[in-house]
Structure 1
């Protein structure tokens, strides 16, 4: 029934043969060639780029916050030198 619901919702493009229950999947009929679709895709890209810039700014702000750095320093377990190679890989 989940496949039928996905077909009805337009999440997938398929048909179900009523005789044997075989599901045939089809290509998305949208060719992404219309001006409206191009505008919609462009709008989505612009929103994602703006969101990416905001997330980068927030990440930079948080990673420079002294309170955050202090908290992470306390919570992170101390590193053991046995966890590291004695010779850097670039010299091998």
Structure 2
């Protein structure tokens, strides 16, 4: 299942997408989405450079949370793994 960045961002809230993807596919698509957001921001002349660099750091740090997001989306509604 190949999604473009807009489809992924708009559909990430739906666990059905994560349930059909492997963790590797999710990570690759999530990384691609973050890269596209960064590239789009870099091309926008109205974005303040200081804010751009701050947001670039935030987006870069989000990459580390890909496994956490994948696990949260794979979790069935009402299921809490911490209560186990």
Q: Could you state the TM-score of these two structures normalised by the residue count of structure 2?
A: 0.30
More strand by share: 1
More helix by share: 2
**Structure showing greater relative contact order (alpha-carbon pairs closer than 8 Å, 6 or more residues apart):** 2
Q: Could you state the TM-score of these two structures normalised by the residue count of structure 1?
A: 0.28
